[in-house]
Chain A
């Protein structure tokens, strides 16, 4: 017989995965809107973010109830703690998708700068990290979570390259500094989303193995 608590945990995981789906969509719409110069797609991000915020609050409330009523231990405790943290990361990703949407709208209203090859690469990489971090949680796959961690450096490098590319363009077009800033900020938001995906991957490893690998630290090896 499945215990009530196990059913509640399963529902909670489903809630988180549903919210993660909305976060992926918000990030995807912001990026696609920028690529296709589609203002309708970009503005859809704001409504999705409202949904994400509601889901985040509901998740928090459920977590507090489960902690208070069931006082979970061991793997159950690790899962619940990780979900609380992942919830925060996902909610922040939603905010960053909104930031990308704002900067994209402003950028698209001005004169476009030269096509930046690294921006689409970075977008794809960050979307991949988000997707795989969630997949590693759903499939309890430590190896997949570890692969997400390995991708973080690549995203950081891409952000630096974009910043340098923009600086190079602005040398010949100094009056387009605002346009350049929007692109740098978009790269910055993407990089932060990658950081949150990394946090989620670290939480997945903690749930599975009990190892705390944040900041290069291994607190406990099973």
Chain B
């Protein structure tokens, strides 16, 4: 299968400190890829490179290629803002726009790009709140502030907002680390459903979560990609001793 996202020889630095070392990794379409590794291994940096957030930090730079279909998304010619419409991101803490209603949060991506027709916006808001498994809970209070929802609902609202602009890839940076177990289970179930629509790359500290939801898992250590394999293999018979030691809790 040809990868939807093909990362080749990606290295990243914060000033003189190298955070990623020559990473090559292919992400299959309509799959969930989990990135695991101890703190500081470069897993968040990796996904932040993929939607060009890394270079927003002063002194940070990267080299290498990452092909999204036919386009090298790390090329200087690619506009990061338009790239983020193709590669969306959900962060650790739910961050709905606090002054906006639930409806406006989901519609914000479209209204910012000039789409004003109410019928179009209505359709997009409903479709994506349904995709994010939030519609039934909020359909009668769409005008309430997004920040009035519970933490788990806010995170699903952020997922709906990210989906509304129709990305091909959704990056998730520890999306459940601030949530309770019930909300976490809902998001995990959602991720499993969403891969029919979008390709997902998720950073997680929770190895059981990676094991539950992902098709392939990448283990990062000190900026290196140590092992990348089907999840069922990596968690039962890892090939690399360092992976074995990490996932059995011997270090990290």
Residue numbers of A with Cβ under 8 A of B are 3, 5, 71-78, 209-210, 220, 222
Contacts and interface: CB of A to CB of B under 8 A. Distances in A.
Contacts of B238: 74
A73 B210 CA distance: 12
A78 B237 contact: yes
Contact of A3 (B233, B237, B249): B249
B235 A77 contact: yes
B244 A71 contact: no
Contacts of B237: 74, 78, 209-210, 220, 222
Given A71-B208, A73-B211, A210 B236 contact: yes
A220 B244 contact: no
Counting chain A CB atoms within 10 Å of each CB, the highest count among B207, B208, B237, B244 belongs to B237
A74 B235 contact: yes
B208 A74 contact: no
A151 B139 CA distance: 69
Contact of B247 (A74, A220, A222): A74
B235 A73 contact: yes
Contacts, number: 32
Given A71-B208, A73-B207, A73-B211, A78 B236 contact: yes
B208 A75 contact: no
Considering residues B233, B235, B249, which has the most beta carbons from chain A within 10 angstroms of its beta carbon?
B249
B187 to A, nearest CB: 19
Interface string B211-243: 100000000000000000000010111110001
B235 to A, nearest CB: 5
A74 B231 CA distance: 11
A30 to B, nearest CB: 38
Contact of B248 (A74, A209, A210, A222): A74
Nearest to B237: A210
Contacts of A75: 244, 248
A74 B235 CA distance: 5
B249 A77 contact: no
A16 B158 CA distance: 50
A54 B176 CA distance: 43
Contacts of A5: 249
Contacts of A78: 236-237
B208 to A, nearest CB: 5
B249 A220 contact: no
30 contacts: A3-B249, A5-B249, A71-B208, A72-B248, A73-B207, A73-B211, A73-B235, A73-B236, A73-B247, A73-B248, A74-B235, A74-B236, A74-B237, A74-B238, A74-B244, A74-B247, A74-B248, A75-B244, A75-B248, A76-B248, A77-B235, A77-B236, A78-B236, A209-B237, A210-B236, A210-B237, A220-B233, A220-B237, A222-B237, A222-B239
